[in-house]
Structures are given as C-alpha cells and as structure tokens.
Amino acid sequence: MSVMHSAGESYDCEASLTAGLVGLIQARTVSEDDLRWTAVVALDAVASIIGGAADPNARSLLQWSRAEPLNTGRTAFVYGGLSTVLELDAMHRESAVHAGTMVVPAVFAAAKDGKVGGRHALTAILKGAEAAFRVGRAAGPSHYKIYQNSATCGIYGSAFAMGVLLGLDNAGLVHALGNAGTQSSGLWEYRETGAMTKQLHAGKAAEGGIVAAQLAQNGFTGPLKILEGARGFFKAACPDGDPSAVLRGPGDPWGLHGMSIKPWPSSRHTHPAIDAALGLAKEIPGRQIESASIQTYRAAMDLCGKGPVRNAHDGRSSLQYCVAAALNDGQVSLSSFDDHAFERHEKLARRISAAAVEPFMSAYPKAWGAQVSVVFTDGTSAANACTNVKGDPEAPLSRDELTAKARSLLILGGVKDPEAFMRSVLAMADDGPVPHIALQ
C-alpha cells in the first residue's frame, strides 16, 4: 500500500516490520471474553492511578500537574506517573512491560470527556498492549539491563491504542508507531539513587504515544522501519534483540491474557522471593533467624539485588527488604514500606544474601522464580521455592482478591463510592462510557 502525505512523498507501508505488526494486530478477532478481561486489567490500572495519588511520593507530580490546565497528553502523563507510585501495576512477564502504566493512561486520558464508548476504548487498550508486548519480548536481555521496557516499548503501545481511538487506518498507525519509536527512552539509572524517574518513564510513554498518533492523524509522517532500520530501535538499543519475535505466533492468545496482576506493592522482580518467603513464614514463630539467602534469576539481581536500602520506599525495589518484610510479618502490604516498618525490616535485610542461579536463570523470562532459605539460631534451616507466583496466569488472583485490591486503592484515593466506580469500569465491556478519573 502506497500512501501520499502532505509532503508529497510516497511510502510503501507494506515493506516494514512495523507494517507487519500493524497488519497482524488489526486482522485479529476480539471476543467478548477478551473485552471483559481487558476491563478487569483496566480497573486494576485505574485503581493504581487513583490510589497512587494519595501517596506522598506523588506530591511533586501532582504539584506540577496543577500548575496549568491539563490537555490530553499532559493528563496521560499524570495518569501514567501515578500508576507506578505504589508499585502495584500489572506486568506481562515475557516482555517485561507494564501495560497499565502507559496504554491504559493514554486511553482514559483521551476518553476523559465521556464520549468514547467503552468497547472501543477496551479494544484500543487490548491492541495497544499487544503492540507493546510484541516489541518488548523482542528487545532482548541486554536492552532490559539498561532500559526499562515499559518506557521504551510501552510508547509503541500507547501510540497504537490512541491510533485505534482516532480511527487511523493501517498506514496511519505505521506512521504513529514510527514517530512513537523515535521518542523511545527510559534508563534504569534512577535505581542507583532511588530517584523518582520511574514516574517520568511511564508518563512520557503515555503522553508520547498520544502525540505520535495525533500527529499521524494530521498527515505527519514517521519512519516506516523504526524497528528494523539501520538506525532504528533494534540496531540502536537491542544488541541481542530478536526482531522476528515481533511477528511470531500471530494466532497466539492476546498478550493481555498473560498479565501478572500484582498482589504486593513492590517491583515484580521481588514477587517470586516474596512468595517463597511467605511459604516459610509459618515456620518462624518462636524461632529467631540467624541469616537467610535468596536464589533467583539474573534480571532480578540486576534490578533488585543490590546492597542496603536507604529508606522504606527504596525497599519496594529490594529483594532483601521485601523478603525481610515477608519473614517478619507473614505478609507484605503498603504498611511494609512506611517509615514505621523500615528499621525492623532493614535490620533483617542486612542478614540476607542474594544470587542468580540455575534453574531460575534459564527459566526466565517465561517463568520468574526464586528460592528462599533460612538458617535459625538453633542451627536448623528451612527452604521454599516458588515458580508460579501468586498473580501469574498460572496462579491467578481470584475475582474476590482482584476486587478487594481495587476497592482498597480506590478508598485510599478518596473515591466515595468504590463499588459504583468498579461497576462503571467493568461495564465498559457492555459499552458503558469510560469513567472519569477524579484525583483527590
């Protein structure tokens, strides 16, 4: 397909990996079950946005957002940033992309006037997430070691979702993705100091995708080979990437069905170790811990396995701190990461070692696993391993657990009638309007 744009140039939109991705996604069937699950994922994301606004770590972002009126892109930026604050955002394991931090914020920001039908919005989320997941799973481990996939690959998802909302044809979507990809960014360096940049990553991925799609709607062209080109995404930032994975398995289930919904408010890489530690907690009452160790996969060590934490918020991204909280209290919750809990958990965390070992390294990223071993002061020991983490598709949260999580976050964020709000989000699958997100 050749398309003429205002600049007078002709583009062959069939001869690129981006065009193949667009064609694959647009040709797929969307079922009722797909839309109803997408509504559940959307509720989980929106609840994280609303609950995140109540956390002190959101204060700077909210002050910035209130300095001037919000347009669609700026609103998406705020929603995206807030979605990451409490570390309760769902994740797709194989791609390491949190679709709820950029795709859902982009769609809810674009639909904030209530004029977008719920099914149309959910379809946009489903397809946008698929684009992000497919690019993310192809990016490779060397990319993920330096870049946060939710930021670098997520912007393709928000652009695709916004393009669907705008009714762009396949050629328009190709150009939207081209201009999204050139904005792709998000470095892990903020982890070294505990900086707040993760909020910026999510916000820019949501906002940048909106801008890319809006520009494409107005005839603004983008690089057609943004993924595989000689100076494109894979060449620039993915030394061991696998571009063929973008189009692999065209008939596979929608990626959104592979989401891991977080039960605990910490980095997803800490969850296997938390799950394993919680299995040991019942053996601890009446006994004192001498030391403990964590065995897990390399990415978990690279991102969450470093030295002592500086404060409770840092603990959300620390294997040792999260395991200490699980062992100390037999649970991990928002209160595990407040100043009152910090000294107690940090003291035990200093006696916990961590290492990347087999079989967890080879199983990643299809499976995220860990083992926790404890040595007690009486000389006895115990160990527990986890391969299917609570919240994974293989060990999903129950409907009651999903509802309880959303309800607690909505209450935290000041929603007066959380039951009604939850019903309104889920009713999008029956073509109810997209609910307005009111931030306190």
What are the pLDDT digits (tens) for 13-22? 568 999 999 9
The residue-averaged pLDDT of 236-246 equals: 98
How far is the CA of 32 from the CAs of 112, 122, 428, 431, in angstroms? 24, 11, 11, 11
Residue 438 lies in a domain: no
Using the 8-state DSSP alphabet, how is residue 370 labeled?
E
Predicted structure pTM score: 0.94
Strands 289-296 and 352-356, sheet pairing: parallel
Phi and psi at residue 42, to the nearest 5°: -65, -40
Query: What is the residue-wise DSSP string for 175-222?
Result: HHHHHHHTT---BGGGGGTT-SHHHHHHHHHHHHHHHHHHHHHTT---
Q: Are strands 381-386 and 370-376 parallel, antiparallel or unpaired?
A: antiparallel
Bond before 365 cis per omega within 30 degrees? yes
Residue 10 has pLDDT above 70, yes or no: no
pLDDT attached to residue 359: 96
The residue range of the domain holding 322 is: 268-386
Looking at the structure, do residues 81 and 177 belong to the same domain, yes or no?
A: yes
State how far the Cα of 83 lies from the Cα of 44, in Å rounded to an integer. 10
Number of domains in the chain: 2
Pair 147, 279 in one domain: no
Indicate the average pLDDT of the chain: 94
Taking phi first (over 0 means left), then psi (-120 to 50 degrees means alpha), and beta for anything else, what does residue 249 get?
Answer: left
Verify that 208 and 298 share a domain, yes or no. Answer: no
Q: Is 11's pLDDT higher than 70?
A: no
435 occurs within a structural domain: no
What does the pLDDT average to over 375-404? 95
| Residues 329, 414 share a domain | no
- Tens of pLDDT, residue by residue over 91-106, are 999 999 999 999 999 9
First to last CA, the chain: 48
Q: Are residues 205 and 318 in the same domain?
A: no
For the segment 331-340, what is each residue's pLDDT rounded down to a tens digit? Answer: 999 999 999 9
Q: What share of the chain is helix, strand, coil (3-state, %, to 5)?
A: 55, 10, 35
User: Would you say the C-alpha torsion 216, 167, 91, 111 has a positive or negative sign?
Assistant: positive
In tens, the pLDDT along 132-164 reads 999 999 999 999 999 999 999 999 999 999 999
Is the same domain home to 73 and 116? yes
Flag whether pLDDT at 9 surpasses 50: no
Instruction: Evaluate if residue 1 carries a pLDDT over 50.
Output: no
Radius of gyration of the chain (CA): 21
Asked if residues 22 and 173 have their Cβ atoms less than 8 Å apart, the reply is yes
Q: Is a pLDDT exceeding 90 seen at residue 266? A: yes
Question: Scanning the structure block, which residue is given the tokens 């890489």?
Answer: 269
**Whether residue 371 sits in one domain with residue 425:** no
